[in-house]
């Protein structure tokens, strides 16, 4: 079991008398003593969902403690006062909570104050200076008569106590001193050393707080997060009475009406999430292995799947081990928006090898990459359908050392973009708004200089993207090289891919082509895993007679897409990478191409089953137009 250090609790007791009256929106009162700032607020605003308190400013590496209490008039009839931090009574699981957003700690979304009270929190080393202030809020479905008027004992006498029942208050103690450290509020929070971000200012080799507390152990998110139950009537996850995470990961699920929902919910419990929880874009180093291609013409999601063994053996859950029988992070990208668009270079060769191998593990694709060093940049999160396993999906950046041990010709293949879908159990594309560059630190211990042949790099655009001319720059850094790609905004839908040849200068006796990673092993070929909706797809196919299967396959024809022929990538001397703040949340945007493919597949299956697809809603087939 994970052990978390005892967290200090700061108690503030407010003594006052008289009738509780409604107040004009107040502000925090802050006092300073050395490196400690104490900010206190009586009667926080509760008649609106969100209120900014710009007088409370957080700085990088600040340590924060929050205490709060008291009660709020929620309006209505009868006894209507409720506790501000932990209300009880009807609908209290989703209403009547004080909310808070602490820069870099809780993410941009408001979280319930009860999830941070009494915990030692720390602001990351990099935060957005334009959004470094405190935000409070309140959960209700009618704010018109909220406030602090007409005090009563409250539902279930929760505000009867003469001290605890007084108007709501909140105190923050902020310590501006002390060295940076990784802290977390909940076991499924994603944490990392703020001094070890990657060249993109993204988390590098992050882990779950549970792993930080119990090294060598991995969390069971299904148990810790209460089974990922959905808040009734929404697609938001209820993370339990004691939330398993304070970071408000973004939900991306297949939607309630679609064929994808029926397939993704094949093994899921009713009322639970059958999609993805996305924390942040992140970078991992490790070794890679080819897994499989899930062919769209066989009703699958067309993803290229890789098994990724992180150097740290962290960032995993118990379900990664259970589902894949090895400590791997599932790593995926859609072939329809990557290799299918590439007509030359290393990735074109790999694509042809995958097709020739029937999309199976091993074979020529395995010979090209298995057991090789790799650096992956992707949307880091949980696939929640099978209890929650960690994944990098979609992949935004992939660098694989495809020829190792030759300092005069160290070959790395690259695939780089800032957009992509998450397969069957998702909607739209997950883009990286504001992220126009991606960088990779290519390691070579002892190297003092480098030259790079980048003639094997190419750019590709789809017809749905805007015009942009990508660029690439390489510069020598101690013990390696930094390669940076300028790919423009996500809406450009730029895809840079291909091979770079690095020639290293290493002084005699300094070092050489050694493996710069904690774990290196030779991986045996594996059997492709039938995880996720694949099992449901196989069951649907098995339920059709041979003639029905043939008819289905005949109708599974991909809509064509216009592809611009690959062009070389422009090389420049330097590309500036602007500093970024904290986690990089993906943004879900419309993806007409994915929607059209989902529609073709849905219609074909409905036709094969005469409008009655097993496990799908009765109206599914009539709704597909």
Together in a domain, 126 and 267: no
Q: Give the CA angle between residues 617, 590, 425 to the nearest 5°.
A: 45
H-only helix segments in 63-185: none
Check residue 569 and give its pLDDT.
96
pTM as predicted: 0.70
Residue 103 inside a domain? The answer is yes
> What does the alpha-carbon distance between residue 521 and residue 370 come to, in Å, rounded to a whole number?
10
Together in a domain, 364 and 464: yes
Residue 235 inside a domain? The answer is no
Check residue 463 and give its pLDDT.
60
Residue 208 inside a domain? The answer is no
Together in a domain, 385 and 487: yes
User: Are 460 and 497 in contact, with CB atoms under 8 Å apart?
Assistant: yes
Residue 8 inside a domain? The answer is no
Element (H, E) at 501: strand 494-505
> What does the alpha-carbon distance between residue 248 and residue 135 come to, in Å, rounded to a whole number?
15
pLDDT digits (tens, 9 = 90+) for 169-223: 999 988 886 544 444 569 999 999 877 788 898 999 999 999 998 888 999 998 8
Together in a domain, 173 and 253: no
- Strand ranges across the sheet with 133-138: 50-57, 133-138, 98-101, 111-112
Check residue 66 and give its pLDDT.
87
Residue 513 inside a domain? The answer is yes
User: Are 459 and 569 in contact, with CB atoms under 8 Å apart?
Assistant: yes
Together in a domain, 582 and 490: yes
Length of the chain counted residue by residue: 625
Look up the domain containing 59 and give its range: 29-181
Q: Give the CA angle between residues 125, 130, 136 to the nearest 5°.
A: 90
Together in a domain, 161 and 296: no
Together in a domain, 138 and 255: no
Q: Give the residue from 141, 161, 181 where a domain finishes.
A: 181
Q: Give the residue from 122, 154, 181 where a domain finishes.
A: 181
Together in a domain, 467 and 386: yes
- Residues in the chain, pLDDT under 70: 1-24, 107-108, 177-185, 256-258, 265-268, 297-299, 386, 462-464, 510-534, 581, 617-618, 625
Together in a domain, 176 and 261: no
Beta-bridge mates of residue 101: 135
Coil/strand/helix, residue 141: coil
Q: Give the residue from 181, 196, 222 where a domain finishes.
A: 181
Residue 461 inside a domain? The answer is yes
Together in a domain, 493 and 597: yes
Check which CATH number belongs to the domain holding 59 and give it: 2.60.120
Residue 10 inside a domain? The answer is no
Together in a domain, 308 and 454: yes
**DSSP per residue over 121-138, as a string?**
EE--S---GGG-EEEEEE
Domain count of the fold of the chain: 2
Q: Which of 158, 104, 153, 161 is nearest to 133 (CA)?
A: 104
Place of tokens 């709704």: 623
CA dist 384 to 139, 142, 232, 390, 542, Å?
26, 32, 17, 9, 26
Together in a domain, 175 and 298: no
Query: Under the phi-then-psi rule, with left for phi > 0, alpha for psi from -120 to 50, and beta for the rest, what region is 190?
Result: beta
> What does the alpha-carbon distance between residue 10 and residue 116 come to, in Å, rounded to a whole number?
12
Residue 224 inside a domain? The answer is no
pLDDT digits (tens, 9 = 90+) for 543-576: 888 888 888 888 887 777 777 778 999 999 988 8
User: Are 589 and 492 in contact, with CB atoms under 8 Å apart?
Assistant: no
């Amino acid at each position: 079991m994970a052990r978390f250090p005892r967290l200090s609790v700061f108690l503030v007791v407010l003594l006052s008398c008289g009738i509780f009256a409604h107040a004009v929106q107040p502000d925090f009162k802050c006092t300073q003593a050395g490196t400690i700032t104490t900010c206190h607020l009586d009667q926080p605003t509760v008649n609106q969902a969100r209120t900014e308190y710009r007088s409370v400013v957080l700085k990088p590496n600040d340590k924060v403690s929050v205490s709060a209490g008291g009660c709020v008039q929620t309006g209505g009839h009868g006894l209507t006062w409720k506790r501000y931090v932990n209300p009880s009574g009807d609908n209290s699981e989703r209403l009547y909570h004080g909310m808070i957003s602490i820069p870099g700690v809780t993410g941009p979304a408001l979280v319930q104050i009860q999830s941070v009270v009494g915990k030692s929190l720390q602001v990351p080393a990099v935060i957005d200076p334009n959004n470094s202030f405190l935000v409070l809020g309140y959960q209700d479905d009618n704010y018109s008569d909220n406030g602090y008027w007409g005090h009563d004992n409250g539902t279930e006498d929760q505000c009867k106590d003469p001290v605890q029942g007084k108007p709501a208050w909140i105190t923050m103690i902020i310590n501006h001193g002390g060295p940076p450290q990784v802290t977390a509020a909940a076991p499924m929070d994603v944490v990392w050393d703020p001094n070890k971000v990657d060249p993109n200012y993204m988390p590098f080799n992050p882990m779950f707080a549970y792993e930080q507390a119990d090294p060598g152990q991995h969390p069971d998110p299904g148990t810790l997060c209460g089974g990922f139950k959905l808040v009734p009537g929404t697609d938001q996850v209820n993370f339990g009475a004691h939330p398993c995470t304070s970071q408000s990961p973004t939900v991306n699920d297949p939607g309630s009406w679609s064929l994808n929902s029926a397939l993704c919910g094949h093994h899921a419990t009713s009322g639970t999430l059958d999609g993805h929880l996305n924390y942040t874009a992140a970078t991992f180093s490790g070794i890679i292995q080819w897994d499989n291609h899930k062919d769209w013409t066989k009703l699958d999601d067309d993803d290229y799947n890789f098994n990724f063994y992180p150097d740290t053996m962290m960032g995993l859950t118990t379900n990664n081990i259970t589902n894949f029988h090895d400590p791997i992070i599932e790593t995926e990208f859609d072939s329809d928006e990557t290799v299918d668009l590439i007509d030359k270079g290393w990735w074109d060769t790999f694509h042809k090898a995958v097709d020739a191998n029937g999309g199976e593990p091993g074979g020529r694709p395995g010979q090209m990459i298995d057991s090789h060093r790799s650096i992956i940049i992707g949307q880091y999160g949980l696939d929640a359908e099978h209890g929650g396993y960690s994944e990098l999906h979609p992949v935004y950046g992939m660098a694989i050392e495809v020829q190792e041990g030759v300092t005069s010709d160290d070959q790395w293949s690259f695939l780089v973009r800032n957009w992509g879908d998450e397969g069957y159990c998702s909607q739209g594309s997950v883009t990286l708004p504001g992220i126009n560059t991606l960088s990779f630190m290519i390691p070579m211990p002892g190297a003092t200089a480098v030259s790079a042949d980048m003639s094997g790099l190419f750019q590709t655009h789809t017809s749905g993207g805007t015009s942009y001319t990508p660029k690439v720059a390489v510069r020598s850094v101690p013990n390696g090289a930094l390669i940076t790609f300028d790919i423009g905004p996500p809406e450009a839908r730029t895809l840079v891919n291909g091979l770079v040849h690095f020639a290293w200068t290493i002084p005699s006796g300094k070092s050489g082509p050694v493996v710069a990673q904690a774990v290196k092993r030779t991986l045996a070929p594996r059997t492709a895993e039938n995880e996720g909706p694949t099992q449901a797809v196989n069951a649907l196919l098995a339920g059709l007679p041979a003639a029905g299967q043939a008819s289905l396959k005949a109708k599974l024809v991909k809509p064509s897409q216009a592809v611009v022929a690959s062009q070389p990538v422009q090389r420049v001397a330097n590309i500036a990478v602007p500093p970024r703040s904290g986690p990089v949340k993906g943004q879900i945007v419309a993806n007409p191409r994915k929607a059209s493919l989902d529609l073709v597949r849905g219609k074909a299956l409905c036709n094969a089953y005469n409008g009655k697809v097993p496990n799908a809603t009765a109206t599914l087939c009539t709704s597909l137009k």
